[in-house]
Structure 1
Amino acid sequence: MRVLVIDDDSGLAQAMRTVLKTYSVRLSAAETPEQGLHMLATRDFDLLLLDVMLPEINGFEICRRIRSTPSPYQHIPIIMLTARSDLTDLVVGLETGADDYITKPFEPRELVARIHAVGRRFRDRPSEDADAGNGDLTCFRLDDASLAIDIANARVQVEGQTLPLTSMEYELLVFLAAQAGQVFTRDDLIESLQVISPLSVRSIDALVYRLRTKMRSVDSRADFIRTIRGRGYSLIGQRVGAAPRLEEASG
């Protein structure tokens, strides 16, 4: 597994390289955002470790740029690194498109576990260029907007346009869609998504916000996730069952 870390602490990067090598993880390091983005653009990596406190520009902004700018590495799994344990960092990280979060100092085994957990979620999802076939396709309609979820190929489209979802966003949407119309509390959703990182009510709200934003960016009518005041969230819309295979994303 090939991992890039962007962190201005060269000593930490060297220590991580030594540890990760014993777990078959090859670590490359960049000390500045500019160097890191150049390495992402010119070499292939399976995952990015991104420090929050970087010179010139912070890790949140780097994460936001990676997720919002079309590029070969736009969907790379990202784990944020921070020396602060503030819950706000976790929420902001999820809002900008990170897939996980780890607080310094961390135990080597915890880092390895998180790298493999996040990497495994992405390896289990076929790429968007894969043949969609006739997978397990579930479709919904709401106010003439369409939502299609292809479980077999881990692809989601609104009005025929593929959504670039992080692993947690995708898993949250699939969970809600599997029991569409049912209201889930934030605690229900935390339990459904519980991996290595402890999630919180605010992090669930951040995930829902990002999902809504991505769907509405395609069609303002695609408001498939509703907040039920005092209770939680629910996926709404008319289930229309199977449909023709998803179209390949344009561009």
Structure 2
Amino acid sequence: MAPPDDRQRVLIVEDEPNIASFARMYLEAAGFVVTVATRGDDGLRLAEAEPPHLVILDLMLPGMDGYEVTKRLRQSGHTPIIMLTARDDAVDKVVGLELGADDYITKPFNPRELVARVRAVLRRAEARPARAGRPEASTIEAGPLRIEVGGREVFVDGEGVQLTPKEFDLLVTLIENRGLVLTREQLLERVWGFTFLGDSRTIDVHVRQLRRKLGDACPIQTVWGTGYKVPAKR
């Protein structure tokens, strides 16, 4: 019997054969086990049957578009997702991030950049449990806000609030640094990982989502030209 393959598995959901083949070739050369689906519904079935370590997901797909696939995946777990978009369209990127995608990349892309982003997102996903398990910060309370760090749960006045993995990590980072202004670059480094290749608009999108979901329970202040902060405890 062959020994189990402990390499990380990547699922590519892309209906353009040349792009899928190109990405698969470089990822396999980098040591990943790669599966390809050409329809959104097929990709979702594969991800549910054998959850991959990461999904690379096109937006425009037959059967089920990338937005719907992302929503379905986020309902059942936190598998990292990198979205592909054919246009350098800010709306596509923002919607993808708001749905819970971990990163995005615009086609046509540099395959080495794709591999770098895959590795960065996976490193961040692997580091998350270690951060969450710190005994000295198992619970954080700030007014009506309670954060159960180990369980990655957030409550406002006792009511649970659903956050994406990135929203949760961003919230904890801001709360742990109450009273300090954190630049967008610092937040990208601390929450997304130092090799993250995105732009600072990612931070703005996630802050907007936190404000919408938490309201006055967590007053995140904009420091114009610099970044964000949560006021110090009073």
Give the TM-score taking structure 1 as reference length: 0.74
User: Is the 1:23–1:112 Cα contact (8 Å) retained in structure 2?
Assistant: yes
Identity %: 38
Residue of structure 1 in register with 2:135 after alignment: 134
Could you give the per-residue CA deviations for residues 195-226 of structure 1, whole angstroms, max 9, x where no partner exists? Answer: 433323x4322101223344x4xxx76x2133
Q: Is the 8 A contact 2:154 2:161 kept in 1?
A: yes
Check whether the contact 2:41–2:64 (CA below 8 A) recurs between aligned residues: no
Do the aligned partners of 1:46 and 1:76 also contact (CA within 8 Å) in 2? yes
Query: Residues 230 and 196 of structure 1: is their aligned pair in 2 closer, same or farther, counting only changes over 3 Å?
Result: closer
Residue 197 (str. 1) matches residue 171 (str. 2): no
In the other structure, the counterpart of 1:45 is 52
The residue correspondences of 1:1-251 to structure 2 (distance < 5 A) are 1-67=8-74, 69=75, 71=76, 74-126=77-129, 132=133, 134-137=135-138, 139-142=140-143, 145-148=144-147, 150=149, 153=150, 155-158=152-155, 159=158, 161=160, 163-166=162-165, 168-184=166-182, 189=187, 195-200=195-200, 202-214=201-213, 216=214, 223-228=217-222, 233-236=228-231, 238=233
How far does residue 59 in structure 1 lie from its aligned partner after superposition?
1.5
- In structure 2, distance between residues paired with 1:199 and 1:76: 22
**Superposition deviation, residue 136 in structure 1:** 3.0
Name the CA distance, whole Å, in 2 between partners of 1:160 and 1:137. 18
Query: Gaps (5+ residues) in structure 2?
Result: 1-7
The Cα of 1:56 is off from its aligned counterpart by 4.6
Q: 1:195 to 1:162 in 2, by over 3 A?
A: farther
Deviations 1:79-99 (A, max 9, x none): 001121122222222111110
- With structure 2 as the length reference, what TM-score do the two structures score? 0.79
Count of matched residue pairs: 222
Higher helix fraction (1 or 2): 2
Counterparts of 1:127 and 1:66, CA distance in 2: 23
SS in structure 2 of the partner of residue 80 of structure 1:
strand
Unaligned runs of 5+ in 1: 240-251
CA RMSD of aligned residues (A): 3.1
SS of 2:142's equivalent in the other structure is strand
Residue by residue, what CA displacement relative to the aligned partner does 1:33-80 show, whole Å, maximum 9, x if unpaired? 11011111111300010101112543123223322x2x2xx2100000
CA positional deviation for 1:164: 4.5
CA distance in 2, matches of 1:186, 1:17: 33
Comparing 170-179 and 224-233, the one that deviates more: 224-233
Task: Tell me which of the two structures has the higher relative contact order, counting C-alpha pairs closer than 8 angstroms and 6 or more residues apart.
Answer: 1
